[in-house]
Structure formats: structure tokens, C-alpha cells
Amino acid sequence: MIFIYFPSIIKNWLKKLIFQILIIKKFYPIFLPLNKLNAELNHLYFNWANQFLFFYGFVNILLSKD
């Protein structure tokens, strides 16, 4: 059963992942550092945000009933 729906799960997951990446790229300038002292903190924040969105997208697909 799971094997039959596997390709559609990957397709839906890729669609959601691309959509989330586009959202990050659209709103990224809002979070850009105003000076160079904030650059490292900003970098760490976006590493966390990317990992969170990646995990959230994966869980979202596992829980979705598409």
C-alpha cells in the first residue's frame, strides 16, 4: 500500500518543499542583518529555520491524506 503511493508522496513533498523555499527567498530581505555584527546570528537563525521547515514539510506529508 505504502509502496504504491510512494511516488505521489515524493511529488507532493517536493512541491511543498519548493513552495517553502520560495517563501524563504521572498521574505529573506526582511531578516537581513542591519550591520555585520548580526550576520552570524542571522546565519544561525536561517540554518535553524531551514531545518525546521524541512522537517515540518516532511511531517506534513506523512500526516496528509492526499
- Predicted local confidence at residue 1, as pLDDT: 47
- Predicted local confidence at residue 43, as pLDDT: 67
By percentage, how much of the chain surpasses pLDDT 90? 0
By percentage, how much of the chain surpasses pLDDT 70? 56
3-class secondary-structure state, position 1: coil
Residue 6 gets which letter from DSSP?
H
pLDDT tens digit sequence for 28-58:
665 554 555 566 666 666 777 777 777 777 7
pLDDT at 13 over 70: yes
- Predicted local confidence at residue 38, as pLDDT: 63
Q: Is the dihedral of CA 25, 29, 31, 37 positive or negative?
A: positive
CB hemisphere CA count around 2 (13 angstroms)? 2
